[in-house]
Amino acid sequence: MTGYDDMDGKIWMDGKLVEWRDAKVHILSHALHYASSVFEGERCYDGKVFLSRKHSERLLKSGELMEMPIPYSVDQIEEAKRAVLDANGLDNAYVRVVAFRGAGPDMGVSSARNPVRMAVAAWSWGDYYGDAKMKGAKLDIARWKRPSPETIPTAAKAAGLYMICTMSKHAAEAKGCSDAMFFDYRGYVAEATGANVFFVKDGDVHTPLPDAILNGLTRQTVIGMLKEKGITVHERYIEPSELEGFEQCWLTGSAAEVTPVGQIGEYTFEVGALTKDIATSYEKLVRS
């Protein structure tokens, strides 16, 4: 396939639509050197971006947490997303909104005088984990750990927080896995590289407490769906030793949607009835 820098279409940048290949930034953009960037990944289903405003609100919140005020309102971000989808003729797509510190008077760790820029792109994208939606993804266990919220703003969807995700996913793929699962700085089960994780045991659902990980919008949606179905959800600290006793497992995320997991390290899980039901219910919800 062609690279993402060499495609037909339009990208919204700093208030206007530009040709895809012309959507460029200067090599001295602060974000490239110091990771001063926040972003959102969203899915558009049948012309409607699922939880669109919540994503836009979270983008602004991420900017605040990074002390990087984004110069656009929620309404303006919503208009930009719609303009990109319409300009590219997309009804079903992945939408990426990114805000970052560009090039300016500062070129060091300090960057308060540099402008905060924003761009929106969208493209057709299939299942994030390929055929894992049918047979269950295989996950490695990452060598890195999710850091303490005392060291980074864990509630921000910030580019710098994904460095160990990229490294861990590359290591996992080299082993024939789809992804990797992290423990957190205390040693508890945390999340995958770009998705939250859920487990099933004796009919109840267990998921890590999001005090050191991103409380994903899809995660919140799925918890609400489970409770509506009368299923007990335990948001708690999960010890690694508990993995052996869980019967089912799935991942959630805007890109991952609801993806069954068949294996994490040496531990295996069935793609059971509850996993299939919540995946089907989520698919119906996003298209309702």
Compute the 3-state secondary structure of the chain and give helix, strand, coil in percent, each to the nearest 5.
30, 30, 40
- Decide: 255 and 194 in contact? Cβ < 8 Å: yes
- Decide: 276 and 149 in contact? Cβ < 8 Å: no
CA distance 52 to 119: 16
Burial of 191 (0-12, 13-18, 19+ CB in 10 A): buried
The H helix count followed by the E strand count for the chain is: 7, 15
Whether 10 is catalytic: no
Burial of 168 (0-12, 13-18, 19+ CB in 10 A): buried
- Decide: 216 and 252 in contact? Cβ < 8 Å: yes
**Catalytic site residue from 157, 169, 175, 201:** 157
Catalytic sites, residue numbers = 157
